[in-house]
Amino acid sequence: MQGKHLYEYAVIRLVPKVEREEFFNVGVILFSKKANFIRSLCHIDERKLKLYASELDPELASAHLQVFQKICAGDKDGGAIAALDVPERFRWLTAVRSSCIQTSRPHAGFSDNLEQTLERLFKELVL
């Protein structure tokens, strides 16, 4: 993937108690239409999870986040959404929802290396 690529990214948030509207960042999804690229990285900080919602099972939350990665990869275990083309998958993953896993609005940028950009955003916004 040589050259400058226009990309969009969104932050994946865990909202343990939707009614309180409190959240913390658990992942990033990055998409580039021209490069036909969509990937996500996720990690739940169990210390933060215990502070926000000690009753929430971290393994269950991680299992729900793995669906993002399955959809990005086009994995058949990601369901019907994973079979969509790359732009449709990104739009579906970043649609506004009121569940305990939400995404920010998409943000745009340019990158020479989409994998490195994803890793940098993940380190800056999640870790």
- Which CB contacts under 8 angstroms, 24+ apart, belong to 87-90? 87/31, 87/33, 89/38, 90/8, 90/29, 90/31, 90/38
Write down the domain spans for the chain: 5-125
pLDDT tens, 17-67?
888 888 999 999 999 999 999 999 999 998 998 888 888 888 988 998 999
pLDDT, position 113: 97
pLDDT, position 2: 61
pTM, 2 dp: 0.91
pLDDT, position 20: 84
Retrieve residue 14's tokens. 């865990």
Statement: residue 1 has pLDDT above 50? no
pLDDT tens, 64-108?
899 999 999 999 999 999 999 999 999 999 998 878 899 999 999
Retrieve residue 71's tokens. 């959809």
pLDDT, position 99: 84
